[in-house]
Chains A and B, each alone.
Chain A
Amino acid sequence: MTDWLIKGAAPLGGAPTDLRLRDGRVAEAGTNLSAAGAQVVDAAGLIALPGLVDLHTHLREPGREDAETVASGTRAAALGGFTTVYAMANTSPVADTAGVVEQVWRLGRDAGHCDVRPVGAVTVGLAGLRLAELGAMASSAAAVRVFSDDGHCVADPLLMRRALEYVKAFDGVIAQHAEEPRLTEDAQMNEGVVSARLGLPGWPAAAEEAIIARDALLAGHVGSRLHVCHVSTAGSVEIIRWAKSKGWRVTAEVTPHHLLLTDDLATSYDPVFKVNPPLRTAADVEALRAGLADGTIDCVATDHAPHASQDKETEWAVARPGMLGLQTALSVVTETMVATGRLDWAGVADRMALAPARIGGHPVPDAARGGSLAVDASASMTLFDPAARWKVDPYALASRSRNTPFAGRDLPGRVVATFLRGRPTVLDGKLA
């Protein structure tokens, strides 16, 4: 494999350094490294971050290849700076057997744009009635460690307890979509001042918080790992902070859209802003940013959810919930967390690479050194230009779908290159 010499990148925003990538590792780091025998990337002014990891991606294959495929979704991931995505299980057929998770894993390997780690369903068919063969998925070629019925809540408290306990045998984690189903029947958006005005049935914050509190208690009781998907309310942040203070093994993620957008966008009735959990209030956004900054929320996860245009160009109530996220995530985090002084680049590396990799059960090799890309680190990394700005054009994104809530927005930063174990997947902002 070709050696690559990254000239003058700033690992985690530190002093500019040359990095030589060889055999999937950082072979050499220092100033004025010789370019002999290597392809050179001029990275002056660029931040080097460990390859980003997304714990929450919907690749839609198998089943809805019109909305996204493993290939198109992972192209978007690479262009967004990601080297690993965890593919959610709500495909058709559902990823609730070893066969389906292995299929998705192979599709990812063959596409080669980033690592695809399938998430297994907790219950058969996401129906919430009986456990899927979690052990078979864990010991399959896909080596599943994260299990989730995402899109649905594992609402039955006894089934949730059993799932939490069962996956301890292979150090698995249950990633819960926290949504009390009875409190959210027909719910369309955050319940509050805006929903009252728009006449859209409300999705109360308590429906999320009640499940998180219940699950944290269960995880504490049985000593298991709980991961909370897409935390969206200030109350959820408080409950997670409390659960962590007990020493329980609870982790949480927040999406970029919940860090930036608020429920008043629903005033347009444009379902591009419809998502589950829904966009919340400015006070929630503030609490989420604070929680991500202080580590109460461990990581950012995109909940990249492509939908075909016929599923979005409709009345609000019949539109499917979900937003694209892979290609805008790092820019949105830059805007909401870095530009506001809440996180430095080491913090971004932690929240977008190290923490999600750890939660997902495949920690990055130099996690102990904070992902600083020193010698012997994995050569999975992204080079990011923090000074660039770009306007989001839905038609210029790599996803097969167009449902980005950031269309027309001017966002900071640009992914210039992504390397997957020493091999470029993106160069000069384009697929390599």
Chain B
Amino acid sequence: MKHLLSAEDLGRDEAIAILDTAEQMSLLGDRSVKKLPTLRGRTVVNLFYEDSTRTRTSFELAAKRLSADVVNFSARGSSVSKGESLKDTALTLEAMGSDAVVIRHPASGAPHRLSSWIRGSVVNAGDGTHEHPTQALLDAFTMRRRLGRVNDLSVTIVGDVLHSRVARSNVRLLHTLGAGVTLVAPPTLLPVGVETWPAEISYDLDAVLPKSDVVMMLRVQAERMNAAFFPTEREYSRRYGLDADRMAMLPDHALVMHPGPMVRGMEIASEVADSVRSTVVEQVANGVSVRMAVLYLLLGGSPE
């Protein structure tokens, strides 16, 4: 594996290898000295064109726990804001000797473009409305830890699938790992062509919840309302939000997941977000382990 651009590129064995490696990495989190010497002398650049303290910090911690040198290169406070092209930035990072670039970018496909311009590894940390593969990996990792498996789980993903890179990556990865995925959203927030995805489609959340082992709520941005994707926040929340009444329809073992940041009161009620079923905080912790595993496997732990 040279790059991690898309969950679509991951075969079953590769994906399981990442999850197994992440399991080992997670043991480190319980030790007082949370550091391995594996990537000493290697340089990881966090190239973030969107504000995402959560994801950037997670990657930064992951790289540092593997003893890599980490450079944070954010669009703000660099020449990017003066209009430097992605290609020139890529060539600059290349010249500085980066071994891996972790990129977050508002344009779908930006990591693919980057990978054609540099020799090092590229990790997609979220590109536009395309993919966010490490999020899907940490979600699968969380499911496996809590429920013992991913294979044969019924996973329901609810919300703005159209604009969600988390949904795209999860649909691909969960399918690869043998889970059954159901997408629930207003029809306006499902892409044309979604019928070809390896997932069931439903517009009726209440009908799907009793059969779900996992329900994953996606963030819904209020500005979507202005583009007529749905009439009002209240109507969205009533039809597709997860409140305590709906949570009660889930099987006892079922998990409630959210990639964050949550919009409490919109897609998820506070009492649901804070319930014992919720894995939101655990997902953050697991994110570091999974990203350590990805960096470890991409960079091989030793100089080429």
Residues of A within 8 A of B (CB): 188, 191-202, 204, 268-270, 310, 313-318
Residues of B within 8 A of A (CB): 8, 85-87, 105-110, 112-113, 116, 127-131, 165, 168, 191-194, 196-197
Cβ-defined contact, B85 with A269, below 8 A: no
Q: Which of A191, A194, A201 has the most chain B CB atoms closer than 10 A to its own CB?
A: A201
* Assembly CA distance A193 to B112 (angstroms): 19
* Assembly CA distance A270 to B87 (angstroms): 13
- How many Å from the CB of A66 to the closest CB on chain B? 15
Cβ-defined contact, B85 with A200, below 8 A: no
Cβ-defined contact, A200 with B193, below 8 A: no
Q: Which 5 A-B pairs have the closest CB atoms?
A: A269-B109, A199-B130, A196-B193, A315-B107, A196-B191
For A198, the chain B residues whose CB sits under 8 A away are 108-109, 130
- How many Å from the CB of A321 to the closest CB on chain B? 15
Cβ-defined contact, B168 with A197, below 8 A: yes
Cβ-defined contact, A191 with B192, below 8 A: yes
Cβ-defined contact, A199 with B86, below 8 A: no
Cβ-defined contact, B131 with A199, below 8 A: yes
* Assembly CA distance A201 to B8 (angstroms): 19
- How many Å from the CB of B196 to the closest CB on chain A? 5
* Assembly CA distance A204 to B191 (angstroms): 11
Please list 26 pairs of residues, one from A and one from B, whose beta carbons are closer than 8 Å in the complex, sorted by A's number. Answer: A192-B192, A193-B193, A193-B196, A196-B196, A196-B197, A197-B8, A197-B168, A198-B109, A198-B130, A199-B127, A199-B128, A199-B129, A199-B130, A199-B168, A200-B129, A202-B191, A204-B192, A269-B112, A270-B116, A310-B85, A313-B85, A314-B85, A315-B86, A316-B108, A317-B108, A317-B109
Cβ-defined contact, B105 with A315, below 8 A: yes
Cβ-defined contact, A197 with B193, below 8 A: yes
Q: Which of B8, B108, B165 has the most chain A CB atoms closer than 10 A to its own CB?
A: B108
Cβ-defined contact, A316 with B196, below 8 A: no
Contacts A199-B130, A199-B131 given; indicate if A315 touches B113 (C-beta within 8 A).
yes
For A199, the chain B residues whose CB sits under 8 A away are 108, 127-131, 165, 168
For A310, the chain B residues whose CB sits under 8 A away are 85
For B196, the chain A residues whose CB sits under 8 A away are 193, 196
Contacts A198-B130, A199-B128, A269-B113 given; indicate if A316 touches B107 (C-beta within 8 A).
yes
Given contact pairs A192-B192, A196-B194, a sample of 5 additional A-B residue pairs in the complex whose CB atoms are under 8 Å apart: A192-B193, A195-B191, A197-B197, A200-B130, A315-B113
- How many Å from the CB of A274 to the closest CB on chain B? 11
* Assembly CA distance A412 to B112 (angstroms): 32
For B165, the chain A residues whose CB sits under 8 A away are 199
Contacts A200-B108, A269-B108 given; indicate if A314 touches B193 (C-beta within 8 A).
no
Cβ-defined contact, B109 with A315, below 8 A: yes
For A196, the chain B residues whose CB sits under 8 A away are 191-194, 196-197
Cβ-defined contact, B107 with A318, below 8 A: yes
For B107, the chain A residues whose CB sits under 8 A away are 315-318
- How many Å from the CB of A309 to the closest CB on chain B? 9
* Assembly CA distance A191 to B131 (angstroms): 18
Cβ-defined contact, B110 with A202, below 8 A: no
Q: Which of B86, B106, B128 has the most chain A CB atoms closer than 10 A to its own CB?
A: B128
* Assembly CA distance A314 to B197 (angstroms): 28
Contacts A269-B108, A269-B113, A315-B109 given; indicate if A202 touches B87 (C-beta within 8 A).
no
* Assembly CA distance A310 to B85 (angstroms): 8
Q: Which of B106, B109, B110, B194 has the most chain A CB atoms closer than 10 A to its own CB?
A: B109
Residue of B nearest to A200 (CB): B108
For B130, the chain A residues whose CB sits under 8 A away are 198-200
* Assembly CA distance A313 to B191 (angstroms): 27
For A269, the chain B residues whose CB sits under 8 A away are 108-110, 112-113
- How many Å from the CB of B7 to the closest CB on chain A? 11
For B86, the chain A residues whose CB sits under 8 A away are 314-315
- How many Å from the CB of B122 to the closest CB on chain A? 12
- How many Å from the CB of B22 to the closest CB on chain A? 25
* Assembly CA distance A199 to B168 (angstroms): 8
* Assembly CA distance A310 to B191 (angstroms): 31
For B194, the chain A residues whose CB sits under 8 A away are 196
Q: Which of A315, A316, A318 has the most chain B CB atoms closer than 10 A to its own CB?
A: A315
* Assembly CA distance A270 to B117 (angstroms): 12
For B191, the chain A residues whose CB sits under 8 A away are 195-196, 202
* Assembly CA distance A268 to B115 (angstroms): 11
- How many Å from the CB of A310 to the closest CB on chain B? 7
Cβ-defined contact, B128 with A317, below 8 A: yes
- How many Å from the CB of B188 to the closest CB on chain A? 13
Contacts A196-B197, A197-B168 given; indicate if A316 touches B192 (C-beta within 8 A).
no
* Assembly CA distance A392 to B256 (angstroms): 54
Residue of A nearest to B109 (CB): A269
Cβ-defined contact, B192 with A202, below 8 A: yes
* Assembly CA distance A196 to B196 (angstroms): 9
Q: Which of B110, B130, B191 has the most chain A CB atoms closer than 10 A to its own CB?
A: B191
* Assembly CA distance A316 to B116 (angstroms): 13
Residue of A nearest to B87 (CB): A313
* Assembly CA distance A315 to B87 (angstroms): 9
Q: Which of B85, B106, B129, B193 has the most chain A CB atoms closer than 10 A to its own CB?
A: B193
* Assembly CA distance A268 to B111 (angstroms): 11
* Assembly CA distance A188 to B193 (angstroms): 15
* Assembly CA distance A315 to B191 (angstroms): 21
Contacts A199-B131, A314-B86 given; indicate if A268 touches B108 (C-beta within 8 A).
no
